[in-house]
Amino acid sequence: MADNAAKEGIRSVITQSKISPESFFPHISKLCMEEWQDSWDSTPTNKPFSIKPVLGKKPHTSLCRRDETVITGLRIGHSRMTHSYLLSRVNPSVITANVI
């Protein structure tokens, strides 16, 4: 698609624009966000989608990054208890066998 758009741009007539390049940034940003949302909507089975179905800017909180990371991990079900096998590099079936 990018190659076709570039080829079409070469064939188009060049005109003098009175619009500054900076005025295009909000439009490009909006287009990128719409594309990202479309991609996000096409994968509703992932955990982050169930927590935040609509993408956008994150609201500002007074929490430090570490606290926000812990809260996000808890919201999506990632904690030391559920993912300790990744940290200890142990096969998860071994941990399950020891627990049972």
pLDDT score of 97 more than 60: no
Distance CA 51, CA 61 (A): 17
Query: What integer pLDDT is reported at residue 34 of this predicted model?
Result: 93
Task: Mean pLDDT check: name the lowest of 1-5, 18-22, 36-40.
Answer: 18-22
51 is a domain residue: yes
pLDDT score of 100 more than 60: no
Average pLDDT of the residues of the chain = 79
What secondary structure does DSSP assign to 2-65, as a single string? HHHHHHHHHHSPP----S-GGGGHHHHHHHHHHHHHHHHHT-TTSHHHHH-SS--PPPP-SS-H
Range of the domain at 47: 23-57
Answer yes or no: do 66 and 36 share one domain. no
Q: Determine contact, residues 92/85, Cβ cutoff 8 Å.
A: yes
- Model confidence pLDDT, tens digit, residues 53-63: 888 877 777 88
At 94, give phi and psi (nearest 5°).
Answer: -70, -40
70 is a domain residue: yes
Distance CA 74, CA 77 (A): 5
